[in-house]
Amino acid sequence: MNTAESTGTELPAIDLAILAAGRDCVEEFGVRRTTLSEVARRAGVSRPTVYRRWPDTRSLIAELLVRELGQIVEDSVPTEGPARARLVEGIVTGAGELRSNPLFAKIFRIDTDLMLTYVFGRLGRNQRQLIEVFSAAIREGQQDGSIRAGDPEQLATMLLLIGQSTVQSANTVAHLLDDTGLDVELARVVDRYLRPDCA
């Protein structure tokens, strides 16, 4: 089994233990100082056991970040209310959770260039996952009349760019726009972007 392709499904306990150990290592040491040997030691398994699932640190970290982001998205999107309101709240809440998440915060703090590679440097699984979630919500909103007409995937891609830039730049402008202010302004931007022209 290629564990890296199993995102979105429940993994065996040993895989979850390895991912949890990887998370602990990244939070403590950062990405560059995390080794599969240390991950194996903390997970209580042999190095070959880890290597059979993830051939290198990069693939393990990538899998970890995809699953971490997936959980943030799942926890952030409300299940009730008009689609536009749910999507706005989900994006604002998710962006806030991402900024305060210990794993992502550690990487942003000491491995910023690697964060750009793993998460933002290319249209990888993280971005595709978000675009799919946003597109589905946009289609719902177009059906209930709360979101304007337009290609759902294109609108979702623009939302991805808005959210990414907000998360990436939050610390840079923190002295001008605190977390509360950032949430308010992000909600306003996303809501007005999605609102039907006649609303």
Predicted confidence (pLDDT) at residue 115 exceeds the cutoff of 70: no
Q: What is the pLDDT of residue 145?
A: 95
Q: pLDDT tens digit string along 155-166? A: 999 999 999 889
Q: What is the pLDDT of residue 191?
A: 98
Q: How confident is the model at residue 21 (pLDDT cuts 50, 70, 90)?
A: very high
Predicted confidence (pLDDT) at residue 5 exceeds the cutoff of 50: no
CB 83 within 8 A of CB 141: yes
CB 88 within 8 A of CB 187: yes
Calculate the CA dihedral of residues 142, 133, 105, 180 and round it to 10 degrees: 20
When the pLDDT of each residue in the chain is averaged and rounded to a whole number, the result is: 88
**Tokens at 138, concatenated:** 């946009």
Predicted confidence (pLDDT) at residue 8 exceeds the cutoff of 80: no
**Domains in the chain, please, with CATH?**
12-55 (1.10.10.60), 65-194 (1.10.357.10)
Q: pLDDT tens digit string along 30-87? A: 888 999 999 999 999 999 999 999 999 989 988 898 888 888 988 898 888 899 999 9
**Tokens at 120, concatenated:** 């933002």
Residue 108 backbone phi and psi in degrees, to 5 = -60, -35
Q: For the residues 103-131, what does the mean pLDDT come to?
A: 74
Q: pLDDT tens digit string along 158-199? A: 999 999 889 888 888 989 999 999 999 999 999 999 999 865
How open is the CA angle 18-121-173, to the nearest 5 degrees? 100
Q: How confident is the model at residue 122 (pLDDT cuts 50, 70, 90)?
A: low
